[in-house]
Chain A
Amino acid sequence: MDSVTPRLGILASRVRYEEKNIMAALERRGAEFEYLDPRSLFVVGAAQREAPSFVFNREIGHFRAYYAASALEAAGATVLNTAAATHVTGDKWHTSAALLDAGLPTPATALAMTPDAALKALEEIGYPAVIKPLVGSWGRLVTRVSDRAMAAAVLEYVAALPSPQSHVVYVQELVPKADRDIRVVVVGGTALGAMHRRGTEWRTNVARGAVSEHCPLSPAHAELAVSAAAAVGADIAGVDLIEDEEGRVTVLEVNGQVEFRGFQEAEGSRVDVADAIASLLIARAAA
């Protein structure tokens, strides 16, 4: 390791609210770090003397985040979240499979290898249901289907998409819930807090205009969120929980590249997410 090279690198092609605040928190704690832009990153398969030995991966694109993590790990770096966790959390099916494997509650989900098979799977799951892209976020292209005719029409469009991966279809029951879900932020195995995301449409993504509100974190929700983060191998995660009309709570998603602007605004001074992440990074980089 080169003595003048910081051990800690921050990998991000877009410096958003989250990355900027994490960098500021690191600086407040006196930690040195190197900013790495994945758009100019390449890794030759051997150990890189100049590369940081510990990389915090905040790349926004799933495939670039996964392969960058994998390549940096191959070159000897420790990456957080790991390449394996990035692989799982960036793909809805891998996340569902990990949650099911860990015995955690999650909505009824099927992965169909063709759009035709997806139509059959929906008959078993029942309507209304949701068809989701395997990769991608902010609720984009997530489609609610209320009956067979609508599902058949949507799947006809899915079949016409050019990418072979698009023809593998993820379908899920639509859990009847209130106009809100619960987002728990987990850092280093600890649930920092929770917020409600309340929206006027059924997709309660902040990117779709949902409003963030503070939610008291119950021990049961904290435990479920920490277990969900552990199930996918993520040190840092945003865990989305939904509560059905009978009060049963299930894990909907685990985000490995958690955005926390809305969460921080809802939490106010109760918690400092950027500082908690900075603290974890410093401890792990020194390990």
Chain B
Amino acid sequence: MQKITYAAECPECASEVTIDAEVRVSEIIECTDCRSELEIVSTEPPELALAPDVEDDWGE
């Protein structure tokens, strides 16, 4: 079966980022061009933002 993907613009380098149709809102992906960590802020339409920086109290 062919995988469905979407494209959105990287907010850091403006390159086109391919997004798997199975992503969920708030999932973190990486821009293949500039390696920025990106957050899926919307799936319909696909929209990306820079992922938040790691904070002091983050962890498992």
Enumerate chain A interface residues (CB-CB to B < 8 A). 12-16, 19-20, 23, 35, 37, 60-63, 90, 133, 135-138, 140, 238, 255, 257-259
In the complex, are the beta carbons of B26 and A15 less than 8 A apart?
yes
Decide yes or no whether B16 CB sits under 8 A from chain A: no
Prevailing SS type, chain A contact patch = loop
**19 A-B contact pairs sorted by A residue (CB < 8 Å):** A14-B52, A15-B24, A15-B26, A15-B27, A15-B28, A35-B24, A60-B58, A62-B58, A63-B57, A90-B57, A136-B58, A136-B59, A137-B59, A137-B60, A238-B60, A255-B59, A257-B59, A257-B60, A259-B60
Residues of B within 8 A of A140 (CB): 59
Proximity bits, B33-54, A CB within 8 Å = 1, else 0 = 0000001100000000001100
User: Is A20's CB under 8 angstroms from B60's CB?
Assistant: no
In the assembled complex, the CB of A108 is this many whole angstroms from the nearest CB of chain B, namely 23
Distance of B24 from chain A, by nearest CB (Å): 5
Are the C-beta atoms of B25 and A60 separated by less than 8 Å? no
Interface majority SS on B: helix, strand, loop or mixed? loop
Asked if B59 and A60 sit within 8 Å, CB to CB, the answer is: yes
| Residue from the list B25, B26, B51, B59 in contact with A138, Cβ < 8 A | B59
Are A16 and B58 in contact, with the CB atoms below 8 A? Answer: no
A60 to B40 CA separation, bound complex (whole angstroms): 17
Q: Which residue of B lies closest to A63 (CB)?
A: B57
Contacts of A257 in B (CB 8 A): 59-60
Expressed in whole angstroms, the minimum distance between the Cβ of B40 and any Cβ of chain A is 8
User: In the bound complex, do residue A136 and residue B26 qualify as a contact, i.e. CB atoms below 8 Å apart?
Assistant: no
Which chain B positions have C-beta within 8 A of A259?
Answer: 60
